[in-house]
Structure 1
Amino acid sequence: MEQDALWRPGAERIAAARLSSFMAVVNRRWHVGCSDYASLWRWSVAQPEAFWTSVWEECQVIGERGTTVLENGDRMPGARWFPQASVNYAGNLLRRRDDADALVFWGEDKLRRRLSHGDLYAQVSRCAQALKTAGVGQGDRVAAYLPNMPEALIAMLAAASLGAIWSSASPDFGVQGVLDRFGQIEPRVLFCVDAYWYNGKAVDCLARNAEIAAKMPSLTHTVVVSYLADAPDVTGVRNGLRYADFVAPFGVAQIDFAPLPFDHPLFIMFSSGTTGVPKCIVHCHGGALLQHLKEHQLHGDVRADDRIFYFTTCGWMMWNWLVSGLASGATLLLYDGSPFVPGATGRPGAILFDYADAESMTHFGTSAKFIDAIAKAGLKPRESHRLEALRAIFSTGSPLAPESFDYVYRDIKSDLLLASISGGTDILSCFALGSPILPVYRGELQCRGLGMAVNVFDDDGQPIPAGQGGRGELVCTAPFPAMPVGFWNDPDGAKYHAAYFDRFANTWCHGDFVELTASEGVIIHGRSDAVLNPGGVRIGTAEIYRQVEQLPEVLESLVIGQEWEHDVRVVLFVKLREEVSLDEALTGRIRQQIRQNATPRHVPAKVLQVADIPRTKSGKIVELAVRNVVHGRPVKNVEALANPEALELFRDRVELQV
């Protein structure tokens, strides 16, 4: 039986949705009869050339489309989208030149800046001229080691306007983490920062900048952006100069956006790197632009003058996703620092809701972990903030627990679209998304993305029907424009093929363990490589987290399968509130919670307390790294972790020897 919806859009909201007008245009243009989201999705997958042509037209892509939409559409990889097209990502993002806000920046509660669309264009113009004078051209790499501040966006757009390839990392990465990434792609120019704020403290970056520049011989310019100091001392940085001096010789001039092939490289993104040196994933101008326009306008109902926010660093793909909002005419609300600054109410996490009120935020994006954390901290923005303009909340990074859905509608705002979305760095976008014309069901991602032939396969590569509770691999059975054009330094494509296409022939296998629901929504049960297998029964880790983290004593948890006596046993690690210790009573309650709400197979054989949970820079817990530590295996790239010291809490635990 289908569960009751937590939220349903009203008839007026459905009629006004960008998605509804798009569906009407599709019906007229292609003589079809799509009447709801499900029928539109089926048409978009069955007729990809017509669908993506409509996205190009209705989202008003600036560029020459050509007559051919798709070549080699039966090949994955190998398909080519819009092979005759010329387009420039930056030109599409800088389409507005008026005095309305293009971006607003908050650096915690310390700094505030604001740029109009005209201001942004002018600053990109000067930076692009500086890069060109520095010898940067098509195909050259430009890297950034920057906070989520205006200069990161300006430098990216400047590089993209020239046809250079952009890559970024946040300044909380250590030196080796940066070298593991940028060292592979050999950038010509590096943008970095003098310092930044985090949790009220200034963090100096000049020594790390100097060490990185000294170890990257490809750099001809190391450009230091001022954040805390008006004129930072760059004398110790090889080929160093201040950003202000870099752009000083240049006035504002018209930007000549390089007309580039649809598949010309735009971004080099990096895998998490917890199993080795990060993979360098190359995404293209046309694919990123077209996919993000679709996701923003059709799935998120973003339109001109909306004000969109995502809590992200420049080291997470959600930064790239966020900044594409300029192509829809929206204002970007940038934030850098800790999301748990108390703000005006004095409660951890309130500053982001202060930001929402102050800037009339329409779309609030964050991680599932942030929502869980503020719920446990007792924050109730519905009581402390107005949130009058807020229409949508986006959540990603890990599965959003059903209880977090309850929290959002009970304690944040009852009338909004809560879109739990999922995809990844691999596709710079999403496989599962929200929809402004669909209801929201507890614990479910609303829908499969338009134009994405998403399905669930069993171990034999057979589709698992929706609504029957079957769980399997999330796959995509047809090409889509945001597929990577390849990996860097992978000339024969072998690494790229092995990453996604070895499991099922001619099919993208994403590595998520999922099911399709009766409403054709998606439930994510965890990563496939972290699936537990006690007694041969496959259990998604998210199924255990959803139960354990309902207990008020538990702040966070991590579960692995430990090899034991020719089988696998479930081991659960819990991080508890400061005043709480794990005793037999709490252990019993944890096990009972899991047994009652999951199955006896889910109940851990061991429950152990830890002081911290290791995670990547983008906040994802690292089950595989912990599993390796528990089994005495090496963790190949601890530089990818935000808190690598936490791994030692799991090493040589005597409780796991019996």
Structure 2
Amino acid sequence: MAAAEPPPPFAELPFNHPLYILYSSGTTGAPKCIAHGTGGALIQHAKEHRLHGDLGADDVLFYFTTCGWMMWNWLVSGLQTGATLVLYDGNPAYPDASRLFDLIDAEKITHFGTSAKFVQAVEKAGLVPKDSHDLSTLRTLMSTGSPLLHESYDFLYQQVKPDLLVSSISGGTDILSCFALGSPVVPVYRGELQCLGLGLDVAVFNDDGDAVVGEKGELVCRAPFPACPVAFWNDPDEQRFHDAYFDTFENIWAHGDYAEIVAHEGHDGLIIHGRSDAVLNPGGVRIGTAEIYRQVETLEEIREAIVIGQQFQGDVRVVLFVVPAEGVELSDELQKKIRTTIRAGASPRHVPAVILTVPEIPRTVSGKIVELAVRDVVHGREVRNRNALANPDALQHFADRPELAD
């Protein structure tokens, strides 16, 4: 009998000893090189898995993610609950859009993590997973990457599983965790992230720096929190770190999301309306881009879209670029349908002045669309985060468009 292997050595290190160095996705500029501390990250993940996620040793956790996205680090921390992790490498829609639902049944997954785009793709593919799959082990479906559409909640409860906990979560690489996420003990409201993160002083500030409820503003955290990054790499005076998060409000973390807190009895929910720096401002009225995407992406004729504000004749006009579904052309009739849908579902202010087609939309390597890069190209400015894009050549489709001449 072979001798037992000795236990691995464990070094005693400080709470803030670096655990991960992560690069932000680069949606708003050159990627930030962020160092996260061991203690803060692991405590935060333990809270999110055990309390917000109700994850335990008998559960099976899956999140579809690449190794370059922070959700991989978040997924690995699930091991501290004793849960089994399922990893997947490959196209989630091969050979068809039901592939990951096959995986749920095969591996008895209890907690399934995905993106809003995947949910939309499943719906547009016409799948009805509740009829084609067992899904008896599935308790929680988590979604992040972009706001989950109101209509996606309907689809998940009607066509996937009626007793599912739909947990839309939001945070990011900057905090390696979430500011708002799910809970097994409060209701799910259509279009909302269920609750704010436990132990985090999250609020929404208006332009005057006052906390508001039921109004749109900047998502902030008003007190120190364990998962705050310990440093930026190669930032000895911490100036870049300060400029990234503390330049908007003094000693207040500004996360860069345009959001709204919704008060409920016993808890607060959250709605994400888009990135703050991508907010549109036609006629001086601030509009979150997610408010437009929510309407456009319900249309079967549109595969995906990106919207920007263009400086035009002393004001800002809304310009919408769409990738039509296969075999669909952007006719006058379809443009009218898009505008009518946006007007009815949002407001006349949200209706784009110009709608144009493009063959593809530029994205970061983690799959996020880059409104600021498109806005820079339209205005003839240099794109600072080109190296962070998975498909930088797609930017050429937005340059020098005669339809956008001032």
Query: Could you state the TM-score of these two structures normalised by the residue count of structure 2?
Result: 0.97
Q: Does 1:280 align with 2:33?
A: yes
Q: 1:479 and 2:232 equivalent?
A: no
Is it true that 1:621 corresponds to 2:360 in the alignment? no
Letter in 2 for 1:298: L
* Worse-matched range after superposition: 583-592 or 371-380: 371-380
- 2:334 counterpart letter in structure 1: L
Give 1:657 deviation, angstroms.
Answer: 1.2
Deviation at 1:546, TM superposition (A): 0.5
In 2 relative to 1, CA 277–472 (structure 1 residues): closer, same or farther, beyond 3 Å?
A: closer
Output the amino acid matched with 1:499. A
Partner residue, 1:590:
338
Equivalent in the alignment of 1:515: 260
Report the counterpart of residue 359 of structure 1 in structure 2.
107
Say yes or no: does 1:462 pair with 2:210: yes
Please report how far the alpha carbon of residue 252 of structure 1 lies from its aligned counterpart in structure 2 after TM superposition. 4.7
Amino acid at match of 2:7: Q
Tell me the residue number matched to 1:312.
65
- Give a deviation string over 1:287-329, Cα, whole Å, max 9, x none: 1110000000000000012100000001000000000000000
Match of 1:404 among 133, 142, 152: 152
Instruction: Find the structure with the greater CA-based Rg.
Output: 1
- SS in structure 1 at match of 2:328: coil
AA at the equivalent of 1:435 = S
1:447, distance to aligned residue in structure 2 (A) = 0.5
Give 2:22's aligned amino acid.
M
Q: Residue 486 of structure 1 aligns to which amino acid in structure 2?
A: A
**Which residue type is aligned with residue 653 of structure 1?**
R
For residue 458 of structure 1, report the CA deviation from its aligned partner. 0.3
Q: Distance in 2 between matches of 1:588 and 1:354?
A: 39
Q: One-letter code of the match for 2:164?
A: L
| Number of the residue aligned with 1:577 | 325
Alignment match, 1:491: 236
SS of 1:474's equivalent in the other structure is strand
Q: Is the 8 A contact 1:349 1:374 kept in 2?
A: yes
- The residue number in structure 2 matching 1:338 is 91
Determine the C-alpha separation between the residues in 1 that align with 2:385 and 2:278.
Answer: 18
Alpha-carbon distance between aligned partners in 2 of 1:278 and 1:599, rounded to the nearest angstrom: 34
Q: Which residue of 2 aligns with 1:302?
A: 55
Structure 1 equivalent of residue 354 of structure 2: 606
Q: CA deviation at 1:410?
A: 1.1
* 3-state SS of paired residue (2:340): helix
State the secondary structure of the residue aligned to 1:357: helix
Matched, 1:543 2:291: yes
**Per-residue deviation, residues 96-132 of structure 1 (Å, max 9, x unmatched):** xxxxxxxxxxxxxxxxxxxxxxxxxxxxxxxxxxxxx
The answer to which of 608-617 and 276-285 deviates more is 276-285
Residue type matched to 1:511 in 2? G
Letter matched to residue 272 of structure 2: I
| Aligned residues of 2:35 and 2:231 also touching (Cα < 8 A) | yes
Letter in 1 for 2:229: P
Indicate conservation of the 8 Å contact 1:274/1:635, yes or no.
no
Q: Is the 8 A contact 1:530 1:624 kept in 2?
A: yes
Specify which of 134, 144, 168 is matched with residue 420 of structure 1: 168
Provide, for residues 45-71 of structure 1, a one-character-per-residue CA deviation record: whole Å limited to 9, x for no partner.
xxxxxxxxxxxxxxxxxxxxxxxxxxx
Match of 2:13 in 1: 260
- Unpaired segments ≥5 residues, structure 1: 1-250, 343-347
Q: 1:274 touches 1:636 (CA, 8 Å); kept in 2?
A: no
Q: TM-score, normalised by structure 1?
A: 0.60
Please, which of 389, 392, 395 is the counterpart of residue 644 of structure 1?
392
Post-superposition shift, 1:349? 2.2
Instruction: Report how far residue 274 of structure 1 moved.
Output: 4.7
Equivalent residues, number: 400
Match of 2:177 in 1: 429
Runs of 4+ off more than 6 Å:
none
Report matched runs for 1:444-463 at 5 Å: 444-463=192-211
1:618 is paired with a residue whose SS is coil
Q: Secondary structure of the residue that 2:322 maps to in structure 1?
A: strand
Kept in 1: contact 2:179–2:200 (CA 8 A): yes
Amino acid at match of 1:581: E
Normalized per residue, which structure has more helix?
Answer: 1
* Superposed displacement of residue 276, structure 1: 4.6
CA contact (8 A) 2:62 2:109 kept: yes
Contact 1:284 1:482 (C-alpha < 8 Å) held by counterparts:
yes
User: SS of the counterpart of 2:31?
Assistant: coil
1:554 corresponds to 2:302 = yes
Residue pair 1:402, 1:443 contacting (<8 A) in 2 also? yes
Contact 1:573 1:607 in 2 (8 A): yes
Shift of 1:639: 2.4
Match of 1:518, SS? strand
Give the % identical residues: 66
Return the letter of the residue paired with 2:10. Answer: F
Gaps of 5+ in 2: none
Which amino acid in structure 2 is aligned with residue 318 of structure 1?
Answer: M
Distance 1:516 1:274, change over 3 A: closer
**What letter corresponds to residue 341 of structure 1 in structure 2?**
Y
Q: In 2, are the aligned partners of 1:274 and 1:638 still within 8 Å (CA)? A: no
Structure 1 Cα separation of the partners of residues 229 and 106 of structure 2: 38
Question: d(CA) in 2 for partners of 1:275 and 1:367?
Answer: 20
